[in-house]
Amino acid sequence: MKKPIINTFLILFLGASLMTFTSCREDKTTEDKIEEVGDEIDEGVEEVGDEIDDHTDDN
């Protein structure tokens, strides 16, 4: 008696988990991904430049 109930809850839980996982993903095009990476690289370059300026100002 308990085994079918447990199996039913397990199937419902796994189904809900799968639906949540697949519905939360945002679809992005390759162009969007490339733009994001480019923006992150630009931010990194700016941070490195700021660090260099800070260190050269100290000396």
pTM: 0.48
Where along the chain do its domains lie? 2-58
Q: Is 27 helix (H, G, I), strand (E, B) or coil?
A: coil
**Residue 9 is encoded by which pair of tokens?**
């809850």
Q: Positive or negative, the Cα torsion across 11, 13, 19, 25?
A: negative
pLDDT digits (tens, 9 = 90+) for 2-51: 788 888 888 888 888 877 776 666 777 888 889 999 999 999 999 998 88
* pLDDT the model gives residue 18: 79
Q: Positive or negative, the Cα torsion across 50, 55, 58, 59?
A: negative
**Residue 25 is encoded by which pair of tokens?**
């993903």
